[in-house]
């Protein structure tokens, strides 16, 4: 089963996508009718829908889509982890079989150490206890923070989004990223998404930089802790769906051909643990 473990749907008219400016080329509605033909063309069976706004309203919007869309295995949503009732809200959400994980938008929070504050410990413990996944949306300079988070909460399943957005093509910055990735990968409760790298190519970056980055991720995380995702429709700012699928699949195959199936689907199913009834209702059903 091939799974795109990181895609979005949105409607800017909903009003809670603060980062999505009107002059952005992707400031428009993106829905299931836009993605479905790309999945069929590429042979992707199913997806995981990820939040793009820090509101419970958007989470409910996504869950509504997931309930009507057989190819969506589930949702990684948003919960106010500092709210007094965060634990109750997380338990309520976890009772919904389509709610697979939580993603605070850490890259947009001014304090890079925000997630390490003691006040968040109960919520993080609840995420782990309920079997939810914690998606870490960070920039490269926050790798150390997530490493500490993983050490403090060894039972918390952490998925690093977009490999922490390395500055591909920038030598010194890439070296620092590689060191951070090595330290983070030493934590067994962390998995890494191979996603979002096309949009991180700097002015001097090339596709070979992406291949090398995927190789480094493979070397550190191994075939069992890599998950492929498209980051569609953000992906469309830098490339097309089929091209990204082929590029990443070939980069993984260059390291270990037998690892392609795991990285392109099996690991996502194992880590996010969607309801088994959804696994037979994918795009080709």
Asked, for residue 264, whether it belongs to a domain, the answer is yes
Which stretches within the chain are classed as H helix? 32-42, 56-68, 86-94, 121-129, 143-152, 171-185, 207-221, 241-255, 260-261, 267-272
Number of separate domains in the chain: 1
Mean pLDDT of 230-234: 98
Given a cut of 80, whether residue 202 has pLDDT beyond it is no
Asked, for residue 221, whether it belongs to a domain, the answer is yes
CA nearest to 231, candidates 193, 263, 202: 193
Mean pLDDT of 46-65: 98
Task: Kindly report the CATH number assigned to the domain that includes residue 32.
Answer: 3.20.20.140
What confidence score (pLDDT) does residue 215 get? 96
What confidence score (pLDDT) does residue 283 get? 62
Asked, for residue 28, whether it belongs to a domain, the answer is yes
Residues 50, 207: Cα–Cα separation, whole Å: 26
**8-state DSSP, 168:** B
Asked, for residue 83, whether it belongs to a domain, the answer is yes
Confidence of residue 204 (pLDDT cuts 50, 70, 90): confident
Give strand pairing partners of 232: 7
pLDDT above 70: percentage of residues in the chain: 98
Asked, for residue 285, whether it belongs to a domain, the answer is no
Q: What is the mean pLDDT of the chain?
A: 96
Tens of pLDDT, residue by residue over 57-84, are: 999 999 999 999 999 999 999 999 999 9
Tens of pLDDT, residue by residue over 111-168, are: 999 999 999 999 999 999 999 999 999 999 999 999 999 999 999 999 999 999 999 9
Backbone angles phi, psi at 102, to 5 degrees: -125, 140
* pTM assigned to the model: 0.96
Given a cut of 90, whether residue 284 has pLDDT beyond it is no
Given a cut of 70, whether residue 46 has pLDDT beyond it is yes
Confidence of residue 282 (pLDDT cuts 50, 70, 90): low
Domain with 50, as residue range(s), is: 3-280
What confidence score (pLDDT) does residue 280 get? 74
Angle 281-283-284 (CA atoms, 0-180°, nearest 5)?
A: 90
Q: Determine contact, residues 252/264, Cβ cutoff 8 Å.
A: yes
| Buried residues in 98-114 as b, exposed as e (16+ CB within 10 A) | bbbbbbbbbbeeeeeee
Confidence of residue 285 (pLDDT cuts 50, 70, 90): very low
Which residues make Cβ contacts (< 8 Å) with residue 249, sequence separation at least 6? 228, 260, 264
Mean pLDDT of 265-284: 87
What confidence score (pLDDT) does residue 14 get? 96
What confidence score (pLDDT) does residue 281 get? 65
Tens of pLDDT, residue by residue over 162-197, are: 999 999 988 788 899 999 999 999 999 999 999 999
What confidence score (pLDDT) does residue 203 get? 76
């Amino acid at each position: 089963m091939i799974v795109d473990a990181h895609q979005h749907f949105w409607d800017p008219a909903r009003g809670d996508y603060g980062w999505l400016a009107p002059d952005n080329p992707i400031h428009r509605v993106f829905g299931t009718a836009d993605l479905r033909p790309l999945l069929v063309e590429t042979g992707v069976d199913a997806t995981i829908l990820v939040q793009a706004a820090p509101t419970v309203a958007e989470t409910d919007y996504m869950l509504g889509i997931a309930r009507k869309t057989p190819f969506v295995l589930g949702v990684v949503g948003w919960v106010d982890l500092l709210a007094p009732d965060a634990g109750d809200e997380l338990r309520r959400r976890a009772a919904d079989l389509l709610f697979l994980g939580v993603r605070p938008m850490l890259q947009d929070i001014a304090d890079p150490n925000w997630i390490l504050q003691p006040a968040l410990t109960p919520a993080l413990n609840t995420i782990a206890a309920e079997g939810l996944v914690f998606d870490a949306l960070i920039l490269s300079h926050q790798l150390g923070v997530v490493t500490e988070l993983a050490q403090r909460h060894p039972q918390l399943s952490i998925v690093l989004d977009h490999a922490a957005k390395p500055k591909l093509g920038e030598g010194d910055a890439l070296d620092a990223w590689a060191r951070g990735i090595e330290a983070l990968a030493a934590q067994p409760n962390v998995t890494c998404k191979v996603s979002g790298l096309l949009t991180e190519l700097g002015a001097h970056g090339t596709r070979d930089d992406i291949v090398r980055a995927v190789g480094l991720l493979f070397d550190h995380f191994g075939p069992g802790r890599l998950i492929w995702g498209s980051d569609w429709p953000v992906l469309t700012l830098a490339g097309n769906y089929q091209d990204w699928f082929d590029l990443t699949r070939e980069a993984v195959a260059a390291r270990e051909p037998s690892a392609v199936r795991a990285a392109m689907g099996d690991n996502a199913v194992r880590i996010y643990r969607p309801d088994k009834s959804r696994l037979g209702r994918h795009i080709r059903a």
